[in-house]
């Protein structure tokens, strides 16, 4: 009994430092929630079909993308489940301003400033989607999640 209380105490301390442990939120609950969200999204068909980007429960322990709140004796944990209407990965391109010479008779070049840092782009037969990054995106395990960006 005392050992179990120590494990829970350590898990709550880790939670306060941004680490979610399976003791507080078991993988079975995350797996069921992922299945439920996926099922609900595909059951409610519309013009845009969305899919959950994170497929494995371990991803949600590693990303540190959650909110924890204590209300009286209850501990509530909210996870971000990133969605996308694109079923394939987006390719990220980084922008670089390059001087372009004008007329050969004039010693002048044109350079476009204020370019976005990059763009993520994907095209299918029916749609094209893109994201513009004004600043270098914060990637976690080569994945961009909106919840990781500072507001």
φ/ψ region of 116 (left if φ > 0, alpha if ψ in -120 to 50, else beta) reads: beta
Q: Judge whether 81 and 48 are in contact, CB under 8 Å.
A: no
pLDDT tens readout for residues 95-120: 777 777 777 777 777 777 777 777 87
The parent domain of residue 132 ranges over 86-151
pTM of full prediction above 0.75:
no
* Residue with the larger pLDDT of the pair 64 and 117: 117
Last residue of a domain, one of 54, 84, 114: 84
Q: How far apart, in Å, do the first and last CA atoms of the chain sit?
A: 43
> In the structure encoding, which two tokens stand for residue 90, read together?
């987006």
Same-domain pairing of 108 and 127 = yes
Residue 77 sits in the same domain as residue 101: no
The span from the CA of 11 to the CA of 17, in Å, is 10
């Amino acid at each position: 009994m005392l050992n179990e209380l120590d494990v829970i105490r350590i898990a709550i301390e880790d939670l306060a430092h941004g680490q979610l442990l399976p003791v507080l939120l078991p993988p079975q609950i995350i797996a069921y929630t992922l299945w439920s969200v996926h099922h609900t999204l595909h059951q409610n068909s519309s013009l845009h079909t969305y899919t959950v980007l994170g497929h494995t429960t371990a991803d949600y322990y590693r990303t540190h993308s959650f909110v924890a709140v204590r209300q009286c004796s209850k501990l509530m944990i909210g996870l971000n489940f990133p969605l996308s209407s694109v079923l394939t990965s987006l390719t990220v391109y980084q922008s670089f301003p390059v001087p372009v010479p004008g007329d050969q008779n004039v010693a002048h070049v044109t350079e476009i400033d204020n370019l976005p840092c990059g763009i993520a782009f994907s095209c299918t037969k029916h749609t094209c989607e893109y994201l513009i990054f004004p600043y270098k995106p914060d990637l976690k395990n080569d994945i961009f999640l909106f919840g990781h960006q500072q507001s």
